[in-house]
Structure 1
Amino acid sequence: MKKGARIVTKPSALASWQESAARLVDVAAGRSPADMVIRNGRWANVHSGEIIDGIDVAIAAGRFAFVGPSAAHAIGPQTKVIDADRRYMAPGLCDGHMHVESGMVTATEFARAVIPHGTTTMFVDPHEIANVLGLEGVRLMHDEAAGLPINMFVQMPSCVPSAPGLENAGASLGPDDVREAMAWPNIIGLGEMMNFPGVVAGDSKMLGEIAATQSAGKTVGGHYASPDLGLPFHAYVAGGPADDHEGVRLADCIARVRQGMRAMLRLGSAWYDVASQIKAVTEHGLDPRNFILCTDDSHSGTLVNDGHMNRVVRHAIAQGLKPITAIQMATLNTAQHFGLERELGSITPGRRADLILTSDLVALPIEMVIARGVVLAENGRLTVEIAPYPYPEASRRTVHVGRKLTADDFVINAPARASKVKANVIGVIENQAPTRALIRELACEGGRVLMDREQDVCQIAVVERHRGFGGVSNALISGFGYNIDCAVASTVAHDSHHMIVVGTSHADMALAANRLAEVGGGVVVINDGKELALVELPIAGLMSDERAEIVAAKADKMVEAMRACGCSLNNAYMQHSLMALVVIPELRLSDIGLVDVRKFEKIPLFVDERV
């Protein structure tokens, strides 16, 4: 924050086009001065795919009024004039699918972190807070988003819980809740329909939510996390989802686009799915208008240190995409998909005046960010302050373990008289959301199954934290590389958000779980009884109320602590937080036990055992 920055306590509501039309026409015709004129820029025109030099832009009432060779006729005594100095003028960047909670900060702090990176529009699915606080949590996020100086549209969560019968969340939502939320002013559609087996099976609840959304004329988000592109995929498409961000292979995005869906290609903190799929455009010649760039999940360290949608656009360009096409995929394509083409996504008359100035379309340094006609950031720094949103006290008391846990709670008992067992083991895949279903032979001693550091097999547990039952579900996992006595615990545990604990020491696992119960949620790393790092997340056990920079620094320390314990995975914490997500294959652990997501059924921990 610069000294003397203007305070934005409650941004004035942007007038609709209908309310602004007369003024926009007068400014364009030269009868009225503009509020702001940007002169001498290179216009990145996402409608025509051109870069047009020598262009002026006039802004009035928070909207573009004129874009052409000279806006001298729109300059009056009070008009703010900005010299673009032949820099590129591109639309403000849009994130087509993301979860604020993954940043471990509130919507306000997320906005503060990403505005300097050129993001002026986000389409957020708050199903994380919904799984903890239900419809009230969605309303809190909706109201916070509506008060921001940029566009943050909210998708009503579709799957709370994400997989009924395979997990128990802190709340449950259904078609009536969806129908109610569709009337809220800032709800843009239905969040990702993760229960794809339910849609394929014609589940009345899932289809009822989709129907309620479509009846409101809004967009249904998709989530088909299966490699099967046969009849189940076709049945899912017939069920109504309009987009999908779960593709990881070239064949995935091609199949979706051919069936009339938008393929959302994501580059988050740990999901690297753009490079494999962008070849559909660069090598196979598919129409790029049906591709959208998004992040899905970005933690605070990525936002503060690496960027947001500017990072995704740069990455897409590095894969061989034309710069103007990459920008289209992060602006106009996104706006069109959500029915907002007349509101945003391009620098053209009538649209919201969201714009970035950059001297290089490939490297994409973000040198100025304007949203709704107001300069919000310059050269990587905010030029305004945004007041925090007052989350109620009830949202801060959500971690209910019910008792003090001990090392014995994390012991896996061996079958009677067994000296060895063959166990089903969750296999982590670096930089991808899916896991592998592994089978490993492990030794037993004293009636207990032993972990095996040479095979990189340690334990994972889900601790029930919504109702205080004190339940602990144990399993085995491989891929984190922990090689000393340690444990990592988190109350961010997509999607039901119990507590995930991964460790090599039962005692450290208990200490980690008890520490998070004590602080009301967060992430902690324990090594041999000592706390190496702690990120407190008091709001729903998911978000901090501290500044993004502070949270990022704590998150960096947490990542370093995980590394000190032997984990060298890129963004290992993001991998950790998804290990309970029972809608992405192959194996996951929920509060009811080990789940095979390929079959959507609970399976035994040991290969020869029955459930």
Structure 2
Amino acid sequence: MSEPSPSPLKTWPEAAPRLIAVAAGREPADLVITGGRVVNVHTREVLDWQIAVAEGRFAYVGPDASHCIGEATEIIDAAGRYIIPGLCDGHMHIESGMLTPAEFAAAVIPHGTTTMFTDPHEIANVMGIEGVRLMHDEAALQPVNIYTQMPSCAPSAPGLETTGRAITPEDVAEAMAWPGIIGLGEMMNFPGVIHGDAKMLAEIAATQNAGKTVGGHYASPDLGPAFHAYAAGGPADDHEGTCEDDAIARVRQGMRSMMRLGSAWYDVETQITAVTKRGMDPRNFILCTDDSHSGTLVNDGHMNRVLRHAISCGCEPLIALQMATINTATHFGLERELGSIAPGRRADMILTSDLTTLPIERVFARGVTVAEDGRIAVDCPHLDWPDHARNTVHLGKALVAEDFVIKAPEGKNTVTAKIIGVVENQAPTKALTADMDVTDGIVEPDEAQGIAQIALVERHQGTGGVTNGFVSGFGYTGRMAMASTVAHDSHHMIVVGTSREDMALAANRLGEVGGGITVYKDGKEIALVELPVAGLMSDEPAATVAAKASRMVQAMADCGCTLNNAYMQHSLLALVVIPELRISDLGLVDVTTFELVSLFEDT
């Protein structure tokens, strides 16, 4: 039986009189923890201190809290364990977990995550500012801290894709007044910033005028004048680095380098050497997840997974812990509110018996036990999502195999086609080419070359539109298709397959269930993950969604796929702001030049 969620947290001015009285010994604390080893992330010390909590905040942190104990004070003996701050995720998308904010919170709290900085730009592309507000409102109900960044780029690349809704500078300015908005979400339209696009600069200005943080997203290896122009545009952080030079370049420009370990992004090991070998100031580095699907959350962890990984890459445990706590809080202007075990801060903390392997044995949020031994101990309240948020997949017609036919240019027996090349464990793709045969005027997928077909099916306005192309790297064999309404960032429907008939079946199935992911093999559905909320999320428990996602991953393998976390690669094939080649409802996009290009060369 779970405990009720903590009562609303008092602000520091509201709580200060009692915090002072408890620290002075004039009033008893609500909770005192003795027998623990407090990890001080301000000084990188481990201290045999005690902790007193009142009003959901730390009142006293020092050598002896006995003067804070009264008759009603709860006393917990930490039994020699370390007491570390609750973990903070500096950049993430709740929708990538395929869960609503409530279910995402319930999944990550047992892993020690007590603060998240989230960018709901997935739902913004489907439902606009209304969707952001719904995410913001459910986040505010949770027993942990979920801050919302107002999405900046919907569409992410104007003129290269069509979204269900658009975000405007006026939307950004309005959202800056909402209580849980912490800043502007990742500024993905980096060419717009570099070229002084008025809309992008207006969004940045509205954020800075509100005194809030502008998130960055510079997805280019070019560290020359273009990068410097982007840095001059105001982004305060960036998580798109993939190598040591990227991390160093960002911190040298006064940005925070956010190093991510998500379900498919393994960018910590290649960047943390900026600290471990090059000696850069670790205060400017932050750990994050970016995108973690439900299977990762249930089976592997969340920020505890990232922290363990950073330590395994050679980072000293206390430095890595700073990157997942105080560095993050400081970056967002919340150093006096969270991120450390110090007076006045929210009493978010973890009991663990080892600082390297980091078992998460007990989690407190706002002074209340929220998880113990891997089990959630509080309720995570749900929002009552409106019906139209569960009715967002509009195909306009039943799709048939002919909608996925790729015709060759007139008179061609062979063609040289542009191929989207998937790169394992990385967000960027490769712009490849391949010579392909033509049969009866149609270009077919080529199993021998590892080339499958990809289609982008319009699903917001019901136009019935289908854009076709080719993709390699998944390794699919036989007759199959996989479809998903999670298609960053425009979130139309991506269908990848080797059989046009199965591609039509898969697309129609998602129209029938209101969104999600499905895999077909030889004309039969072999896996389905229903995501009815905006076609992106489920409000079922994480374990239930993870089990369905596990069957989906196995189904992909049964179709010949060998990629690690191939679903994440699938879901990003329409992300037209990350090089090199992507697909959108408007056509094939060369993301090195930000231009629509022909599928075939010399046409």
TM-score (norm 2): 0.99
Deviations along 1:533-561, whole A, 9 cap, x unmatched? 00000000000111111000000000000
Structure 1: how far apart are the matches of 2:332 and 2:189?
22
Aligned with residue 104 of structure 1, among 93, 98, 101: 98
In the alignment, the residues of structure 1 paired with residue 220 and residue 346 of structure 2 have an alpha-carbon distance, to the nearest angstrom, of 38
Q: 1:235-275: per-residue Cα shift (whole Å, max 9, x none)?
A: 00000000000000111010000000000000000000000
Give CA-to-partner distance per residue, 1:156-192, whole Å, 9 cap, x none.
Answer: 0000110100000000111111000000000000000
For residue 37 of structure 1, the aligned residue among 32, 35, 48 is 32
Match of 1:555 in 2: 549
Verify: 1:47 aligned to 2:34, yes or no: no
User: 1:146: which partner in 2?
Assistant: 140
- Which residue matches 1:586? 580
Hey, what does 1:239 align to over in structure 2? 233
Instruction: Give the Cα–Cα distance (whole angstroms) in 2 for the partners of residues 361 and 348 of structure 1.
Output: 19
Listed as ranges, the gaps of 5+ residues in structure 2 are none
1:204 aligned partner: 198
Q: 1:75 offset after TM fit, Å?
A: 1.1
Map residues 281-292 of structure 1 onto 2, 5 A cutoff: 281-292=275-286
Aligned to 1:337: 331
Say which SS state the counterpart of residue 35 (structure 2) adopts: strand
Instruction: Name the CA distance, whole Å, in 1 between partners of 2:364 and 2:590.
Output: 47
Residue aligned with 1:180, SS: helix
How far, CA to CA, are the matches of 2:242 and 2:104 in structure 1?
A: 26
Q: Matches of residues 450-529 of structure 1 in structure 2 within 5 Å?
A: 450-529=444-523
Quick one: distance in 1 between partners of 2:72 and 2:591?
Answer: 61
One-letter code aligned to 2:524: K
2:66 aligned with 1:72: yes
What residue number does 2:3 align with?
6
Q: Could you tell me which residue of structure 1 aligns to residue 18 of structure 2?
A: 23
Whether the 8 Å contact between 2:138 and 2:381 is mirrored in structure 1 is: no
Q: Unpaired runs of 5+ in structure 1?
A: none
* Paired AA for residue 338 in structure 1: F
> Quick check: 1:128 aligned with 2:143?
no
Q: Tell me how far 1:593 sits from its aligned partner.
A: 0.6
SS in 2 for 1:474: strand
Number of residue pairs aligned between Structure 1 and Structure 2: 603
Q: How far apart, CA to CA, are the structure 2 residues paired with 1:467 and 1:138?
A: 20
5 Å-filtered alignment, 1:375-454, equals 375-454=369-448
Deviation at 1:27?
0.7
3-state SS of 2:126 partner: helix
Counterpart-to-counterpart distance in 1, 2:210 and 2:267: 32
Deviation per CA, 1:282-316: give whole Å up to 9, x if none: 00000000000000000000001100000000000
What letter corresponds to residue 500 of structure 2 in structure 1? H
User: Which of 350, 356, 360 does residue 356 from structure 1 map onto?
Assistant: 350
Separation (CA, whole Å) in 1 of partners of 2:381 and 2:202: 38
What is the deviation of 1:5?
2.3
Which amino acid in structure 1 is aligned with residue 504 of structure 2?
A: A
Letter in 1 for 2:39: A
Secondary structure, counterpart of 1:602 in structure 2: strand
Secondary structure in 1 matching 2:297: helix
Q: Does 1:280 align with 2:270?
A: no
Quote the sequence identity (%).
Answer: 68
Cα RMSD after superposing both structures: 0.6
Separation of aligned partners in 2, 1:70 and 1:131: 53
Structure 1 length normalisation: TM-score?
0.98
1:50 partner letter: E
Q: Deviations over 1:588-609 (max 9, x none)?
A: 0000110000000001101111
Q: Extract structure 1 runs of 4+ deviating beyond 6 A.
A: none
- Whole-angstrom distance in 1 between the partners of 2:53 and 2:387: 41
User: What is the letter of the counterpart of residue 319 of structure 1?
Assistant: C
| Greater mean alpha carbon deviation, residues 424-433 or residues 73-82 | 73-82
Equivalent position SS for 2:49: strand
Question: Contact 2:141 / 2:381 at 8 angstroms: preserved in 1?
Answer: no
C-alpha distance after superposition, 1:68-122 (max 9, x if no partner):
1111111111111111111010000000000000000100000000000000000
One-letter amino acid of the counterpart of residue 257, structure 1: V
Asked if 1:535 is matched to 2:529, the reply is yes
Structure 1 residue matching 2:269: 3-state secondary structure:
helix
How do 1:357-376 and structure 2 match up within 5 A?
Answer: 357-376=351-370
